[in-house]
Chain A
């Protein structure tokens, strides 16, 4: 993108990663930096994790993701497809499986800002 836009300066890219993805931020950042170097791009990546929150569709209870309480196999399944959480989690208040992920799902580019321009 930097070359396409003729920008040779530093680009700040902020990537937001949902907690449910369970991605190691340092490893991911390292991979992104290696990739950007391969294309001779000068990008400064900032990776931010968004904590996961769920809201029950029946009683309205809001609760957070407690990965430590989950079996490693279930954690791995949720890492690949976060919606699989619906198979293994229930509302802690009323026991309903009808809940929505209100925060902490997916990986997305939050902002692309141009830094120092030459």
Chain B
């Protein structure tokens, strides 16, 4: 049985220069926040950026970006709406605020459907917000988007480091390019795990101190971009992605 959707994916992603998956393996490290803010920062720097939220069961990028009353346009596929300059697609456009309990094969189907239908324009960067875990979506990403690069996010916790170690081993095992590791939510009480990350052989991109102002910037991208969190992330991205 032929699945015509698979053959369309390469064409749909063909006009994008770089595709970056923001991953962590573990939940609660600020992955969605970093993914969404990265897309906003790149757009603010004058680059064409997109954000694809692949967290189907618990998406949050719509809340971070303050998305409401906009929908993709159906025209030989789906044209993603622009949110504060960022082309954006999430399952929340179709499921609203309802929970979507999905098992493995369904997750893969949604993933393929979104990749096969979405008509991204000429983007410099597509940022992919991935769900926690090392399962279905990660495997599908590696299978279906060949030229994918990974940006790994962790917190200064040994629990987070343990998961990052597994994630990196998995990615390196399939020769997937890893841009580096960002340490998020650093506090005075928590020592940086920079040395441990570098001992794993990964590029440590920098630490972002915990910023309570971020909460007030949720749903308001302009305010979010003014936080210390966003400014620190911006300088990390300048170096990591060699943006001049």
| Chain A residues near B (Cβ < 8 Å) | 57, 77, 80-84, 86-88, 97-98, 100-101, 105-110
Shortest CB-to-CB span from A30 to chain B, Å, is 15
B11 sits at the interface (CB 8 A): no
Shortest CB-to-CB span from A82 to chain B, Å, is 7
Q: CA of A90 to CA of B244 in the docked complex: distance in angstroms?
A: 52
Q: Which residue of B has the minimal Cβ distance to A16?
A: B1
Shortest CB-to-CB span from B12 to chain A, Å, is 15
A87, B99: Cβ atoms closer than 8 Å: yes
Name B114's contact: one of A81, A88, A109 (CB within 8 Å): A81
B3, A81: Cβ atoms closer than 8 Å: no
B91 sits at the interface (CB 8 A): yes
CB-CB < 8 A to A83: which residues of B? 56, 100, 102, 106, 109-110, 113
B101, A98: Cβ atoms closer than 8 Å: yes
Contact A108/B2 with A82-B109, A86-B106 known, Cβ cut-off 8 Å: yes
Shortest Cβ-Cβ A-B pairs, 9 listed = A87-B98, A77-B94, A87-B95, A87-B100, A97-B101, A83-B106, A84-B94, A83-B110, A109-B2
Q: Which residue of B has the minimal Cβ distance to A88?
A: B98
CB-CB < 8 A to B102: which residues of A? 83, 86
Shortest CB-to-CB span from A55 to chain B, Å, is 12
Q: Chain B interface mostly helix, strand, loop or mixed?
A: mixed
B106, A108: Cβ atoms closer than 8 Å: no
CB-CB < 8 A to A82: which residues of B? 109, 113
CB-CB < 8 A to A80: which residues of B? 74, 78, 94, 113, 117
- The range of chain B's interface size is 20 to 34
CB-CB < 8 A to B109: which residues of A? 82-83, 105-106
CB-CB < 8 A to A105: which residues of B? 109
B173 sits at the interface (CB 8 A): no
CB-CB < 8 A to A84: which residues of B? 91, 94-95, 100
CB-CB < 8 A to B113: which residues of A? 80-83
Among B94, B96, B102, B106, the one with the most A-chain Cβ atoms within 10 Å of its Cβ is: B94
B135 sits at the interface (CB 8 A): no
Shortest CB-to-CB span from B216 to chain A, Å, is 30
Shortest CB-to-CB span from A7 to chain B, Å, is 18
CB-CB < 8 A to B5: which residues of A? 106
CB-CB < 8 A to B99: which residues of A? 87, 97
B143 sits at the interface (CB 8 A): no
CB-CB < 8 A to A110: which residues of B? 1
**Which B residues, 60 to 87, have Cβ-Cβ distances below 8 Å to chain A?**
74, 78
B146 sits at the interface (CB 8 A): no
A-B contact pairs, 22 of them (CB 8 A): A57-B103, A77-B94, A80-B94, A81-B94, A81-B110, A81-B114, A83-B110, A84-B91, A84-B95, A86-B100, A86-B101, A86-B102, A86-B106, A87-B95, A87-B98, A88-B95, A88-B98, A97-B99, A100-B103, A100-B106, A106-B5, A109-B4
A106, B91: Cβ atoms closer than 8 Å: no
A108, B3: Cβ atoms closer than 8 Å: yes
As a 0/1 sequence over residues 27 to 69 of chain B, the CB contacts with chain A under 8 angstroms (1 = contact) are: 0000000000000000000000000000010000000000000
CB-CB < 8 A to B114: which residues of A? 81
